Amino acid sequence: MAQISSDDVRKVAQLARLELPEAKIATYTSQLERILEYVAHLEQVDTVGVPPTTRAVEVVNVTRDDEVEETPVREELIELAPQREGDFFRVPQILAS
């Protein structure tokens, strides 16, 4: 793998529109070099037959069916509204008509 130079780091910073202090260029150069070495190491892993995933452990949502249920406190909640219009809350208009 080609060595990363300070100029490479400056170029990447410019493309990313980052302002890097000159004193940190050497630090970022060595860090970027190590990151790219690690990526090269990962590229050697045999992934043939391994399905693509978004996470290491599969997450499954446990959901229930939506069911409309009457609530015994509906009228009490509507009564708490500062303004009401029939069975609805009345709110200030936010969009111009």
Helix and strand numbers, DSSP H then E, in the chain: 3, 2
Q: What was the pLDDT predicted at 79?
A: 87
Domain count, the chain: 1
β-strand pairing of 88-89 with 84-85: antiparallel
Confidence at 60, pLDDT banded by 50, 70, 90: confident
Does 80 reside within a domain? no
CB atoms within 10 A of CB 4: 19
pTM of model > 0.85: no
Q: Is 9's pLDDT higher than 90?
A: yes
Enclosing domain of residue 15: 6-43
Does 60 reside within a domain? no
Does 66 reside within a domain? no
Does 34 reside within a domain? yes
